[in-house]
Structure 1
């Protein structure tokens, strides 16, 4: 077993071209897929010295049935509850950023693929706040707007 681990470490050194044991790169995954509706028209912001970013909000819904006599029996009884979760979407990729700014509109149904990003900012009252953002790598348009719903 020890020999097996040594071989794996040696393969990592060869793969990454380094002999520094503290610099072994691990593969990891940070991937998010959201399917929902856009909550506001996008805005494009640019901080001095940085590339512009398109930002919009997106809502996803979770629904479940609670209570009622038929729970666990497959019967459609009980109350339906729903929880809406809001997400902040940021688009940095130049082509996608411009397409999102031009075509994403409030009510549009979209599939967003990207990664989670956690950060902080200082609000206008000088209070430090934490923010969770989805950095979009891909956006799939599923409808033009809310009026497309049956």
Structure 2
């Protein structure tokens, strides 16, 4: 059985059919991403049509696992997979601080939402892009310095 606080949260995301009869009910949904990794290149700031400036950088996350017959023992090979994420920061204060202080190799914790979009490249080919739109960036590196 769920505790009262947990039950309230659960009810916000799940609606019974009887709640929907005769009225429009907007259900809540969730799109949250949490990443912990290292920056792949110095951030760049872009502006489209003179408005909506955005700071963009890549973030690498690593997944490691042991392979072989005895995975729990010291033997076996260690495999690693690196995944690269495109991070976009639109919030004015966060965007500027991120552009000013983040550099290649910085260790960051990023919270945000997943966004899918399309764009046309230089060769007029339509491409799809997946981006993390950051709501929060926490600096974890000791070596964060202001750019010259």
TM-score normalised to structure 1 length = 0.80
Determine which of 97, 117, 122 is the counterpart of 1:99: 97
Computing the radius of gyration over CA atoms, which structure comes out larger, 1 or 2? Answer: 1
Determine helix, strand or coil for the equivalent of 1:46. strand
Which sections of structure 2, spanning at least 5 residues, go unmatched? 1-15
Local SS of the residue matching 1:45: strand
Q: State yes or no: 1:119 paired with 2:130.
A: no
The aligned runs of 1:1-150 (5 Å cut-off) are 5-6=17-18, 8-9=19-20, 21=23, 23-68=24-69, 70-71=70-71, 74-145=72-143
1:144 & 1:136 partners in 2: Cα distance? 21
User: Moved runs in structure 1, 4+ residues, more than 3 A?
Assistant: none
SS class of match (1:96): helix
SS in 1 for 2:48: coil
**What secondary structure does 1:61 align onto?**
strand
Contact 1:107 1:145 in 2 (8 A): no
What is the SS of the residue equivalent to 1:115?
Answer: strand
Q: TM-score, normalising length from structure 2?
A: 0.81
Q: Following TM superposition, by how much is the alpha carbon of 1:28 offset from its aligned partner in structure 2, in angstroms?
A: 0.2
Structure 1 residue 75: deviation in Å?
1.1
Corresponding residue for residue 7 of structure 2: none
Q: Per residue, is there more helix in 1 or in 2?
A: 1
**Where does structure 1 lack aligned partners over 5 or more consecutive residues?**
11-18
| Alignment size in residue pairs | 129
SS of residue paired to 1:100: helix
Shift of 1:50: 2.6
